[in-house]
Chain A
């Protein structure tokens, strides 16, 4: 299995990746995953992280097969 990684909105455009997969390693966290997928660019402080479609912290312990999403602050709704 592997970790599925998704980027949304402005972050997707900046990084140039929409979806990718990364091999799972024991003890992996979203922060560590970010460093592997986006090398040389520190995880921006305002980026939100979701694991399996639930908000999670950058140090959340991942499990093989997890889906991890990185996205900018949300701006839904009208007016």
Chain B
């Protein structure tokens, strides 16, 4: 299980590849589900030039670890990888990577979605958008279901 909150830009497909290599082609793994969330350049009809992601150091990591542990308790999983960006991001930058490895696709799909939805509704992260003429805090998430 690997949980990372990083102020540095990351490339999710390289991170995933590196993690896959660490897993050393475990034969028990029959499925891997991946979610990558990236920054969009529009929100609520306004162009967004950049965004600052704030978190609660300590609590955020602890909460992400708990979500991953809960997923592992609920489904039979071989591994979980979560990477979340903080700091300044610009459109098309990756923000979040969630990857789940399991024996079969059902566990992988369900656990990946569970982690992502729980992260969005409970993990302490906040976004402040920079528009052309003003900055504003994002006040709510779009529904995921």
Contact = CB atoms under 8 A, between A and B. Distances in A.
Contacts of A58: none
Interface string B29-40: 000000011111
Contact residues of B: prevailing secondary structure: mixed
Interface residues of B, number: 33
Nearest to A46: B139
A50 B94 contact: no
Contacts of B75: none
A79 B37 contact: yes
Contacts of A8: 54, 56, 124, 126
A69 B56 contact: yes
A15 interface: no
B125 A76 contact: yes
Given A10-B137, A53-B62, A75 B56 contact: no
A78 B51 CA distance: 11
Count chain A CB atoms within 10 A of each CB in B40, B54, B96 and give the residue with the most. B54
Interface residues of A, number: 19
Interface of B: 36-40, 53-56, 58-59, 62, 84, 94-96, 116, 119-128, 137-142
Given A78-B36, A78-B95, 11 more contacts: A8-B56, A9-B54, A10-B128, A13-B137, A50-B56, A50-B59, A74-B120, A74-B122, A75-B120, A75-B138, A76-B53
